[in-house]
Chain A
Amino acid sequence: MSKYETVIGLEVHAQLLTKTKLFCACSAKFGDPPNSNICPVCTGQAGALPVLNKTAVEMAIKTGLALNCEIREKSIFARKNYFYPDLPKGYQISQYEKPLCVNGKLDHVPIVRIHMEEDAGKLLHDTGDPAVSHVDLNRCGTPLIEIVSGPDLHSPEEAADYMRKLRNILVYLEVCDGNMQEGSLRCDANVSIRPAGSKKLGTRTEIKNVNSFKFIENALAYEIQRQTAVVEAGGKVIQETRLWNQQKGTTEAMRSKEEAHDYRYFPDPDLLPLVVDRVWVEKIKGTLPELAGEKALRFAKQYNIPEYDAGVLTAQKELAYYFEECVRHHPSPKKISNWIMAELLRELKVRDQDITEIKMKPEQLARMVALIEQGTISGAAGKGVFMAMLDTGKDPEAIIQAKGLEQVSDTGAIETVIDKIIAKEAENVKRYQSGKKNVLGFFVGEVMKAMKGKANPKMVNEILRKKLG
C-alpha cells in the first residue's frame, strides 16, 4: 500500500444542447463563421439585458434528476466579475451561492452541486498579424452546466471512470453531445495527497485543460507523482492552478492562490431569482429517458443475455439503440449480441470508428444472422458477409449472391460429393470404422473443400456419420 492517499474532485463543464444561447435568441451552433451568431445581448452592448432560456433550465434540471440531486426551488444567478476580451460584459453570469441542483450522487461519488452559467467567447491569436488578436463571440453566452463532484475519487483511473459515466449520462439525456475535442465537455481536476489513513485534506492544486479521458489519467498520475515528490523532499504543495501540457506530459504552474481573482460575486439584478416549482420538476421527471444502468438491467432480463454483455451493449446509447434495432428486425438477441460483442466492437476498434459512423444498418446485420440461422449461409461464410457489409453497407443477400456464398442444403448434392470421397478414401474409411472417430473431421474438410465451403456443415456431418456407419 502506498504511503499516500490521493484525493480528487472533478469540475466538469458541459455545454447544453439548446438551439439558442442562455440569455438571448442567438444560435448556439458550433463551427459557424466567426461572429455570425451574435446580437446586442451577447456582445454586451450598452443597454442590453439578459432573458433566461427555459429549455436550458430544463436540461439542467434533467441532469440534476439523473444525478439524484435536490432541485432547488429558488436559485440565483450572480455576476462573476473579471476583465478579459472574450467576456463582453466584464462579468460572467453564473450561479454561485444558490445553484440549481445540490446533493446528488453518481454511483458512490457525491455530486456537490450543478450550476448554470454562460460560456465566454474565443480569442484567435494566430491570424497572420502578430500585433493583432481577434475575438469570436459566437460561443459567448452559450449555456453551460458545471457539475462539481465531491473530493471522493482516489485514483486517476477512478476519476476517468467517473468522467466516462458522467459523459454517458449526459449523452443519454441528450443534454450535451459529450464532444471533448470540440470542448462541449470540459474538465478541471482538483487533486491533493495526504498520508494514508489521514482524514484531513492536503493542499490541492487545480489542473486545467484535461479534456480527454486519457488526459485525465495522465495529468492526474503526473500530478500525484509531482506532489508526492514535493512532500517526500520535505516541501509543501502550493495551492495553485496548473495547466496540463499533453505534449510534455507535465503540469505547469499557471497562477497561485495569491494571484487568484476576487470575482466580487453578487446576485445579478437584471435577472429575477429562478423559481422552479414542483409541478415543473415532476413534469421533467416524466420525460427522463432510461439511463445506462436501468437499460442494462432491462437488457439482461428482457433479452436473456449475460449481465456483462448487457453492460457493454448499454455503455453507449447509440450502441444500445443499434442492438435493439437488430433485435426488432430479428428476435434472436443472444446471437445478435454475440455478433456485436465479438465482431462489431472489435472491428470498430480496429477501424477507429464509432457506431454512429458505420455503413452497416442494424436491419442488415439482423438479416444476416437470420440467414445463418435458416442455413442459407454458414457461420463461416457469415464472417465474410459481415466484413463486406461493414465495408460497403450493401444488403447481405446481395453480398451472398455476388460472392456465391449460398450454402448447399440439397441432400442429393451433398450425398453425391460424399459418395465420391468415400470411394476415393478407402484407407480413411477403414480407420474411421476401426474406431478412429476423429477422422470424421478429415472427411468434413474434404467435403467442404470439394463444395467450396458452401455445404451445410450440419448436414455434411449427419450424412457422413450415416454413410461411414
Chain B
Amino acid sequence: MNCQEKTQYYLDRIAKYNPKLNCYLTVCAKEALAAARAADQRRAKKESLGPLDGVPIALKDIFVTEGIKTTCGSKILNNYIPPYDGTTASALKKGGAVLLGKLNLDEFAMGSSNEFSGFGPVQNPWKEGYIPGGSSGGSAAALAADLCPLSMGTDTGGSIRQPAALCGVVGLKPTYGRVTRYGIIAFASSLDQAGPMARTVEDCALLMNVVAGYDAKDSTSLNVPAEDFTKKLKQPVKGLKLGLPREYFINGMDAEVTTAVQKAAKKFEDLGAKVEEMSLPHTQYAVPCYYIIAPAEASANLARYDGVRFGHRAGNPKDLLDLYERSRSEGFGAEVTMRIVIGTFVLSTGYYDAYYLKAQKVRTLIKKDFTDAFQKFDAILTPTTPTPAFKIGEKTDDPIKMYLSDIFTIPVNLAGLPGLALPCGFSKTGLPVGMQLIGKHLDEATLFQLGFAYEQATDWHKRKPSLVMSHGS
C-alpha cells in the first residue's frame, strides 16, 4: 500500500466505526490525503523526511494544531482554532507524518474513563458499554480498533498508561521533561507529560525517537542529547533486576489482574530477569497528594478560558463578572469545575501550607521511595490498573472510586519517572489487562527493552477486538 491507500484505509475505518466508538472529535480527511499524496510523491523521487514520512497518526485533542480545531474535550474550546502548532505537532508535520485527526479525551484530560468528555463518551472496542479508560481514551480505543496505527497522548496521573491497559495497547509516559509541553494544553504543569501510544513496543519506541528531545520553548524541557530509543530493543533481559512492590497488590483489586501480573513476572524470570518483592512505602499517599497538586495547578492553568479572547463566551453579559461566571460555568463540565474549586481552595490564604505545601513535601517522599528502589532495581513491575475496564456510568457518581483507578500510575507522575504500560492478559469477560514497567530517570530504553522481550514471548498484542457492536455498522 502506498501512503494514500494506507490513509484511505484508516479514513474508511474511521467512517465505519467512529460513529459508534466516538474516538475522533475531528477527522482531517482532506488534509490527510493531501499530506499522503505529498509523501507518495517524495517516495517516488526517493526522498524522505524521516522514519514517519507518510505514516498516518492521530493526536489526542489536547495537542495544539494550527488551523485545526483543538477542543481539549471541552465545550469551552468548542470553537478554538489555534493560531499556532505546538512543537510536537510541528515536528510530526516536518517529519511527513499524516495527521488523520484529533482524538476524544476527558475534558482537559481530567478523568479516567473518558466519560467526562464534553463531546460524549468513547466506547471500549473490546466490549460495548465499557469505558476505554482516560483521559487518552480516544487514543487507546482508536489504536485498539485500528482506526490509527500511532497516536500521541498525554499523561498527568496515568492518562496514557491507564487507557492503554484497558484497551490492550502500548503507551509510554516518558520522564518528565523528555517530550516538550509546548503546545499541549496544560492541566497540571508539573505532572503533564506527552508520550507515544501504539499497538507494539517497537512502534512506541520509533515514535518516541521523533517526539522526544530538548525544546527551548519549554523551560522544563530536559536538555539531554537525543537518543535512539530502539537501541536496546533486541538486547536480552537476562540479569536485569525487577522489583515487585507490595503496595501495588492490594485488597479490593481484581484477582485476574493480580494473576496476570504475577504471570508476567514469571515470564520475565523465564527470560532470565530477576524478580524480587520490594516496598515503595509512601504509595498510599500518592492519590491524596496528587489530588491537591494537580487541581491547584489546574485552577491557574484554566483561568485563561475566560470568554475574553477565544473559546466560549456567554451571550449578553450584564457586566464583566457575569461574562466570566457564565462563560466558564457554561463552558466547563462538572468534573473540571469541581477540580478548579478544589484547586482554588487549597491555594487560598490560610490553607496553602496545610495542603499545597504539605503535598509538595509528600511528593518529595514518594520520589525518594523510587530513588532508593532504583539503587537496587533496574525497573519496577506493577499492574497498570487495579481492575480491567468498568462499565460506562459505573463510577461517575463516585469520584473517589474513579480516582482509585489511577492509584498505580499516579506515583510515577509525582516522581517524574518513565512508565510503560503494555498488555499482559485478558479477563474472563474478554477485557484487556495491562502491566506497568517503571524505569529510572531518563531510562526509557530499558523499559522498551523489557517490554519488547515480553512482547516477543507472548501474543497478547496480536489479539484484535471483533468490533461487533449492537448498533454498529
> Interface of A with B (CB < 8 Å)?
40, 43-52, 79, 81, 83, 85, 88-91, 135, 262, 264-266, 268-272
Contact = CB atoms under 8 A, between A and B. Distances in A.
B219 A271 contact: yes
A190 B311 CA distance: 40
A79 B86 contact: no
Nearest to A79: B300
B322 interface: no
B80 interface: yes
Contact of B309 (A43, A51, A266): A43
A88 B305 CA distance: 9
B306 A46 contact: no
Contact of A90 (B77, B82, B306, B320): B306
B83 A262 contact: no
Interface string B166-201: 000000000000000111111011100000000000
Nearest to B77: A46
B216 A91 contact: no
Main secondary structure of the interface of B (DSSP, over half): loop
Between A269, A271, A272, the greatest number of chain B beta carbons within 10 A of the residue's beta carbon is seen for A269
B344 A49 contact: no
A116 to B, nearest CB: 15
A407 to B, nearest CB: 68
B348 interface: yes
A271 B356 CA distance: 18
A47 B186 contact: yes
Contact of B182 (A47, A90, A272): A47
Interface in B135-163: none
Contacts, number: 100
Contacts of B84: 40, 45, 48
A40 B70 CA distance: 14
Nearest to B350: A262
Contact of A270 (B219, B303, B310): B219
Contacts of B304: 44, 46, 88-90
Between A83, A85, A262, the greatest number of chain B beta carbons within 10 A of the residue's beta carbon is seen for A83
A85 B308 contact: yes
Contacts of A88: 304, 308-309
Contacts of A47: 63-64, 70, 82, 86, 182-186
A79 to B, nearest CB: 5
A81 B182 contact: no
A85 to B, nearest CB: 5
A264 B348 contact: yes
A266 B77 contact: no
Contact of B72 (A46, A85, A264): A46
A270 B63 CA distance: 17
B13 interface: no
B182 A48 contact: yes
A46 B190 contact: no
Interface of B: 63-64, 70, 72, 77, 80, 82-84, 86, 181-186, 188-190, 216-220, 296-297, 299-300, 302-306, 308-310, 320, 324, 344, 347-349, 352, 356
Contact of B219 (A48, A90, A262, A272): A272
Given A49-B218, A88-B308, A269-B190, 10 more contacts: A45-B82, A46-B70, A47-B64, A51-B217, A51-B218, A52-B219, A88-B304, A89-B304, A262-B348, A271-B220
Contacts of A135: 308
Contacts of A48: 84, 182-183
A296 B218 CA distance: 46
A121 to B, nearest CB: 10
A51 B70 contact: no
A272 B220 contact: yes
Contacts of A79: 300
B300 A51 contact: no
B336 to A, nearest CB: 14
Nearest to B190: A269
A264 B183 CA distance: 25
Contacts of A265: 347
Nearest to B108: A46
Nearest to B184: A47
Contacts of B356: 266
Contact of A46 (B64, B218, B344): B64
A46 B320 contact: no
A204 B19 CA distance: 64
A188 to B, nearest CB: 21
Nearest to A39: B84
A79 B299 CA distance: 11
Between A46, A79, A85, the greatest number of chain B beta carbons within 10 A of the residue's beta carbon is seen for A46
Contact of A50 (B63, B219, B347): B219
Nearest to A84: B320
A142 B348 CA distance: 28
A270 B185 CA distance: 12
A48 B70 CA distance: 13
A40 B83 contact: yes
Contacts of B347: 81, 264-266
A48 B66 CA distance: 13
B181 to A, nearest CB: 6
A17 to B, nearest CB: 23
Contacts of B349: 262, 264
Contacts of A89: 303-304
Contact of A85 (B189, B310, B320): B320
Nearest to A41: B217
A40 B66 CA distance: 11
Between A52, A83, A90, A264, the greatest number of chain B beta carbons within 10 A of the residue's beta carbon is seen for A264
A266 B303 contact: no
